[in-house]
Structure formats: C-alpha cells, structure tokens
Amino acid sequence: MAHEQAKQYYHQALDIKIEFSDRYSQAGTYGQLGLLAQAQENYAEARVNLQIALDIFLEYQDNYWAGVTRENLQRLPD
C-alpha cells in the first residue's frame, strides 16, 4: 500500500513540474518513479522511467546524475 501511495504522490509532483515547465526537476521524479517500480519488481516500468530521467539529465548535460541513472538502469534484470 505504501508503494502505491508513494507512486501517487510522485505522479502528482510530476504533474506540477510539467505544468510549470520545470523539465530538469522532472528528471528526478522520473528517476524516483523508476526506483519505486524496481522495488515493486516492475522492471519494464522502471526501465521506461529511468530512461526518461536519463534522457533529461543528458539534455541538461548533468553528467553526474546521468551516470547515477545509467548505473540504476544497468542494475535492472533483463
């Protein structure tokens, strides 16, 4: 139940960030959604969200968080 509530809050946060065109902050939220999906063993959803986060971090040339996100993606089972 806690995972579903967390997911709901992350989606609410994401909606606000999209509404205010805060694209960079969206990356962190997508990353958290990815980690949450990973914790729930929903690896397909985790991969999608982490990839979106990675794309945004690369767009903003944030190599540190891009690297962290890339490592999270690589840890996902196939």
| Alpha carbons 23 and 74: distance in angstroms, whole number | 24
pTM summary value: 0.94
Cβ-based neighbours of 41, under 8 Å, separated by 6 or more: none
The pLDDT profile of the chain, 78 residues, written as one tens digit per residue, is: 699 999 999 999 999 999 999 999 999 999 999 999 999 999 999 999 999 999 999 999 999 999 999 999 999 998
Structurally, the chain folds into a number of domains equal to: 1
Range of the domain at 11: 2-75
For residue 68, the domain's CATH number is 1.25.40.10
pLDDT score, position 58: 98
